Structure 1
Amino acid sequence: MKHILTIALLGSLAATPALANEALAKSKQCVACHAVDKKLVGPAYKDIAKRYAGQGDAAAKLAAKIVTGGAGTWGAVPMPANTQVNQAEALQLANWVLGLK
């Protein structure tokens, strides 16, 4: 019984960061333009993860784009600056997106 509880606890702890970052994306209105696995106004999070895979500075690059916005990387529609997202939150979001497969 003790092992089952330990495994359940570890499983819930492992899932918490992913869920927390998804919740953060929802609370910061990122999901108005992005979805995990399909293009909306902006690219799918999984497509972003694929494009930046293997780049050592990807999280920092994405965090900067989240905060300041950008244009031209994914087409003609610019991404507006997200002034409601601070640098720490942007880095959390970037790492979450990069971890999606």
Structure 2
Amino acid sequence: MRSVVLAVSMLALTGAAHASADLVKKYNCVVCHADARKMVGPAYKDVASKYGADGGAAEKLAKKIKAGGAGVWGPIPMPAHPQVSDADALTMAKYILTIK
């Protein structure tokens, strides 16, 4: 029974991660960001490394996704994405913070 619960939990987590990765693609984040290398914007692993220990990081990152920002990762600003729902922004932020 324990093995079944563990297997179901792992499948649920894998499905959630896949859905989150799909959101990153849906909103074209992959044009400027990649998991492991800097492009126009920082690599997701670098964002996770910098902010992962901050307890409120997901919420702060979700706000940054929606409002945009400048000056933290270099001279090129990240444009605002107001079309992204609050729920999707938070889901993507939580996903980004898991990337190692």
2:14 is matched with 15
SS of residue paired to 1:20: helix
TM-score (normalised: structure 1): 0.89
Q: How does 1:9-48 map to 2 (within 5 A)?
A: 9-48=8-47
In the alignment, structure 1 residue 80 sits paired with structure 2 residue 61:
no
Aligned residues: 100
5+ residue gaps, structure 2: none
Which residue identity is paired with 2:82?
T
How high is the sequence identity, in percent, across the aligned residues? 46
5+ residue gaps, structure 1: none
2:90 is matched with 91
Q: CA deviation at 1:53?
A: 1.9
CA RMSD of aligned residues (A): 1.7
Q: How far apart, CA to CA, are the structure 2 residues paired with 1:37 and 1:97?
A: 11
SS of residue paired to 1:75: coil
TM-score (normalised: structure 2): 0.89
SS of residue paired to 1:34: coil
SS of residue paired to 1:15: helix
Which residue identity is paired with 1:14?
L
